[in-house]
């Protein structure tokens, strides 16, 4: 195999990305935690309810203030538990009240989120680091999933903070008063990642990161590119130059609305809802208090793991939003969101597991629903769908107040057997899918071509849908099937399923293999920027994939910055999109690119 870059002077190329099998790690006993109850608020609805709003945030929400003793010891304890617990049940949210903290190194393991509780990142300053590295996996960062950092200012001890992640590890609303290193110690393989609404005063060094998407941010510089570096609305971004070096740069993001976040007003917990921006560029919080609205926790049903789905639905029926505290929630019925502007916010990678083949969550064709910060884990009985945004045939105009799906991740297998025919279906118009990783597992427990069968990753039927940061991998058929008109995707990262047994298993009629990203034959308008698909058919390296991308050949369907890669020669692509683009060749792991199509 080709070697990975070995240091800061790494070139614009990288070694093979490969995830070896890793057994599930059992979670250690839960820690005790600092908890806090939210006070009642006068701006909560006055209609009577059977279920209360607000309440205790539970044992796995851990809140620090500058006077808290032994913060580092508590951080280290959680990290020891979570460092290699890739498929464990531990879930943690670490919150820091506004103020200044000194001498901390918060190392983040699996299912661990760290965040400040101010309205601005600069309200909460850590003189120290928030670190993700890959020592647990011999310096390979390609499995550093499911963790996050939000709403903090960092003053790194060495001047540079290390954030060596791959999928499902957002870095949001952060202010790094220094530089940011996106590679593990030793510059091993890494395959991320996502930054949004952040300011990095110094330079971002991706080094061995094979692809990355940065949105609505400000950076002091960007060191290098490997395969696929995409920017939209980023001050200081490298100019458009794909494929040499492979930078795809948009001056602005067409539409964006930042993720909801927990904050403190005095001693009261509230959830801030940022407003929509069009033509966004730079951070949303640069001029002080961000623009948007704030809801008291009394407007939320604060759910604890083990609560039945019927209770969650009752809370939604009574007009409450949902705050899912860290843990695992089994659902024996679908969570149904019928009310406009409902918020479902997970903390610490709260995880929904649908039992008996139900859909985990379904949203009506209403305005302004916000889904954020949780994981959907398929159950052992096949679900037709796991997440549905709008019913079939949804047609209402939501352009003024779209539904947003942010840091919502879907997994089929890995933690155990799981099946779902289609993971995410988007039927509502104008939906914004802002950073998702939809993953049919290639390692862990319950993994096999039929064991964790999942034909389709994301299916978009609604018109005018925008995806910013779309990661979809390893599905048995199409990873993305886009049927709606006027769809747009800014950054797409994909691997085809590793475990196809033979060519016949992936044959799509006369076509060799299912495209990673398929635009419906009837679609007349669609556009994508910065899209990559990789194959690693390690079970049968003789498999040939005709193309990574398939779309109708018409002027209104346009793509910019496309690439396909064969990882180490395990399978090959004949073309990039449709019948266009050079084939991949041999074991060189060199991308085949198309600058624009048609």
Active site residue ranges: 495
CA dist 570 and 590 (Å) reads 13
- Tokens representing 387? 């997440």
Cβ atoms of 427 and 394 within 8 Å: the answer is yes
Q: What angle do CA 342, 492, 358 make, to 5 degrees?
A: 45
Q: Decide: helix, strand or coil at residue 362.
A: strand
Among the listed residues 445, 462, 543, the one whose alpha carbon sits nearest the alpha carbon of residue 500:
543
Strands in 361-486 per DSSP E: 361-363, 370-377, 383-389, 404-412, 420-426, 432-440, 456-460, 466-473, 480-482
How many other C-beta atoms lie within 10 A of the C-beta of residue 336? 17
Omega within 30 of 0 (cis) for the link into 245:
yes
How many helices (DSSP H) and strands (DSSP E) are in the chain? 3, 43
CA dist 131 and 466 (Å) reads 31
- Tokens representing 149? 């950092």
Place of tokens 């903290």: 101
Enumerate the β-bridge partners of residue 585: none
Distant-in-sequence, close-in-space partners of 509: CB < 8 Å, separation ≥ 6: none
Place of tokens 């464990």: 88
First to last CA, the chain: 34
Q: Decide: helix, strand or coil at residue 489.
A: strand
Q: Decide: helix, strand or coil at residue 160.
A: strand
Among the listed residues 282, 257, 261, the one whose alpha carbon sits nearest the alpha carbon of residue 270:
261
Place of tokens 């790690």: 25
Strands 335-337 and 361-363: parallel
Place of tokens 């498999």: 543
Among the listed residues 507, 580, 512, 590, the one whose alpha carbon sits nearest the alpha carbon of residue 546:
512
């Amino acid at each position: 195999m080709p070697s990975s870059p070995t240091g800061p002077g790494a070139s614009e190329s990288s070694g093979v990305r490969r995830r070896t099998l890793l057994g599930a790690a059992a979670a250690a006993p839960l820690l005790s935690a600092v908890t806090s109850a939210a006070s009642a608020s006068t701006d909560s609805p006055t209609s009577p309810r059977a279920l209360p709003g607000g309440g205790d945030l539970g044992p796995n929400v851990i809140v620090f203030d500058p006077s808290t003793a032994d913060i580092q010891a508590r951080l280290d304890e959680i990290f020891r538990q979570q460092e290699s617990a890739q498929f464990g049940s531990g879930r943690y949210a670490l919150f820091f009240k506004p103020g200044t903290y000194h001498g901390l190194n918060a190392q983040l393991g699996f299912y661990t989120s760290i965040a400040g509780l101010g309205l601005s990142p600069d309200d909460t300053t850590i003189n120290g680091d928030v670190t993700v590295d890959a020592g647990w996996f011999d310096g390979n960062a390609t499995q550093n999933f499911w963790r996050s950092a939000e709403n903090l200012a960092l003053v790194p001890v060495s001047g540079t903070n290390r954030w060596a992640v791959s999928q499902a590890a957002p870095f949001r609303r952060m202010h790094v008063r220094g530089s940011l290193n996106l590679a593990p110690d030793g510059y091993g393989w890494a395959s991320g990642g996502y930054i949004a609404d952040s300011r990095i005063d110094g330079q971002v060094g991706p080094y061995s990161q094979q692809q990355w998407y940065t949105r609505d941010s400000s950076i002091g510089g960007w060191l290098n590119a490997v395969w696929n570096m995409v920017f939209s609305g980023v001050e200081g971004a490298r100019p458009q130059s794909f494929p040499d070096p492979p930078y795809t740069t948009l001056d602005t993001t067409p539409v964006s609305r930042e993720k909801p976040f927990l904050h403190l007003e005095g001693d009261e917990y509230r959830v801030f809802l940022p407003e929509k921006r069009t033509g966004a560029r730079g951070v949303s919080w640069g001029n002080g208090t961000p623009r948007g609205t704030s809801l008291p926790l009394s407007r939320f049903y604060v759910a604890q793991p083990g609560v039945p789905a019927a209770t969650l639905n009752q809370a939604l029926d009574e007009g409450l939003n949902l705050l899912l505290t860290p843990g695992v929630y089994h659902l024996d019925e679908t969570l149904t969101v019928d009310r406009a502007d409902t918020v479902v916010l997970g903390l610490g990678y709260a995880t929904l597991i649908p039992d008996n083949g139900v859909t985990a969550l379904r949203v009506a064709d209403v305005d302004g629903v916000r889904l954020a910060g949780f994981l959907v884990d398929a159950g052992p009985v096949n679900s037709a769908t796991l997440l549905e945004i709008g019913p079939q045939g949804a047609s209402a105009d939501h352009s003024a107040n779209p539904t947003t799906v942010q840091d919502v991740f879907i997994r089929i297998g890995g933690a155990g057997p799981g099946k779902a025919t289609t993971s995410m279906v988007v039927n509502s118009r104008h939906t914004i899918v802002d950073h998702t990783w939809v993953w049919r597992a290639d390692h862990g427990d319950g993994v096999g071509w039929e064991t964790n069968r999942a034909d389709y990753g994301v299916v978009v039927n609604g018109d005018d849908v925008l995806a910013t940061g779309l990661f979809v991998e390893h599905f048995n058929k199409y990873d993305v099937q886009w049927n709606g008109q006027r769809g747009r995707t800014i950054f797409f990262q994909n691997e085809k399923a590793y475990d196809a047994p033979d060519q016949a298993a992936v044959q799509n009629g006369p076509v060799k293999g299912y495209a990673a990203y398929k635009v419906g034959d009837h679609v007349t308008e669609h556009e994508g920027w910065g899209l990559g698909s990789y194959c690693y058919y390690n079970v049968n390296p003789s498999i040939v994939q005709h193309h990574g991308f398939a779309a109708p050949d018409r002027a209104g369907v346009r793509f910019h910055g496309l690439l396909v890669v064969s990882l180490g020669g395990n399978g090959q692509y004949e073309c990039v999109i449709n019948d266009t683009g050079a084939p991949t060749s041999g074991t060189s792991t060199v991308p085949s690119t198309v600058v624009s199509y048609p």
